[in-house]
Amino acid sequence: MWRVLILCILTLVVHQVNADELKVKSDSPKRYVVVKGDTLWDISSKFLSTPWRWPELWGMNKQISDPHWIYPGDVLNLIMVDGKPRIVIERSKPALKMTRHGRKSRKVNPIPTIPLSDVEQHLTEHQIVTLGEYDNLPVLVGSERDTVFYKQTDIVFVNKKLVTGAKYGIYSRGRIFSSPKTNQTLGLELNLIAKGEATQSADISQLRLDDIKSQVKTGAVIMPLPANDLPAYFLPEAASSDVASEIIGSAKMYRESGLNDVVVIDGGSEQGIKQGHVFSVFQPGKIQFVDSEGEVRDPINFRSYDRIKAYFVDEETQKLPNVYRGKIMVFRSFSNLSYALIIDIKRPVRLGDELINP
């Protein structure tokens, strides 16, 4: 009996080790030259069918400086180290420029993890706040001109103290997102409509409008602008199997989204979701009721009794398998919400699709 038990345990351990073993694609290149326009996800997909495991293949290359950056012109060589695949990098000779602080820096930027053109707007022009945070934000209450809409160079009044000389964003109120399961409000999306600089700080501060993107009027809220440097590089990694989430919105406000579209997901930093997390997207399996004559009744035609029974999967209720739709990567996380980019797709991604560990 003990021998059988030990054999079973050893079999499970070996199976787990094999499942966790990093494997490269059979057609992966042995040598690859990085070119402008590449992304880390693109390159990782050339070598791995599980691109989110890139850090294991990359090994962080501690033999070089800035090991987490890859530049156009770098050469990536696939080798085996102790029986495990590894990428070794040959640095290209960098073209340098002088910064305004008298330091030398590269002329060429490192390649980003994902295409910045697809996510830049959501890094720089949108914020998500709680309703409590929104109620405490400074508010635009008027201007030197007696008008409804304000224009560039106008001096506007703000009902709280600001930091003189600091740059601020002026935002309009956007969508409110709630949890589909609990109806709890998760956050409020704010849309950037203008930028300005505080010229005077007081109980009623003054701010000069420098850049108008949309109509600006009384009632808009004020927030410090996010940092100018975009978080272009972050390591992809599998989301934890303990995290449960779903898609609750899309940037284009469509029911369906496609490759390189931005979606909003339920959960953020408070739920352990962070930048770089990769999820698999599944359509929840459809539940259908089979009557005594073997006829399948679609939920549209459910009776009240059927709707109650649909909560319990038994011999008369069928739950069809979940349907794989694709993969997403989180690129910006807030308290209870996150923005993610669709990086792989088999079928259109829809609101209500569930997210699980890939």
Domain boundaries defined on the chain = 25-106, 119-224, 237-285+321-356
Question: DSSP states of 109-157 as a string?
Answer: PPPPSS-HHHHHHHHHSEEEE-HHHHHTS-BEEEESS--SEE-TT-EEE
pLDDT of residue 66: 58
Average pLDDT of the residues in 261-288: 93
Q: Please, what is the average pLDDT of the chain?
A: 84
Q: Which CATH number fits domain 25-106: 1.10.3470, 3.40.50, 3.10.450, 3.30.420?
A: 3.10.450
Q: Which amino acid is at 287?
A: I
Quote the CA–CA distance of 216 and 291 in Å, as a whole number. Answer: 59
Report the CATH architecture of 119-224: Beta Barrel (2.40)
In the block, tokens 């979940």 appear at: 322
* DSSP strand pairing (155-158 vs 31-33): unpaired
pLDDT, greater one: 235 or 345: 345
Largest CA distance in the chain: 90
Chain centroid to Cα 181, Å, comes to 21
pLDDT of residue 4: 44
CATH number of 237-285+321-356: 2.40.10
pLDDT of residue 16: 43
Alpha helices in the chain (DSSP H): 2-20, 40-47, 54-58, 116-124, 131-135, 304-309
pLDDT of residue 13: 40
pTM of the model: 0.81
pLDDT of residue 18: 46
pLDDT of residue 68: 64
Q: What is the pLDDT of residues 238-269, one digit of tens each?
A: 999 888 899 999 988 888 999 999 999 999 99
Start-to-end CA span in the chain (Å): 37
DSSP H or E stretch at residue 172:
strand 167-178
- Least Cα distance to 84 among 62, 53, 57 occurs for 57
> Which backbone phi and psi does 4 adopt, to 5 degrees?
-65, -45
Q: What is the pLDDT of residues 91-107, one digit of tens each?
A: 776 655 555 555 555 55
Quote the CA–CA distance of 222 and 139 in Å, as a whole number. Answer: 6
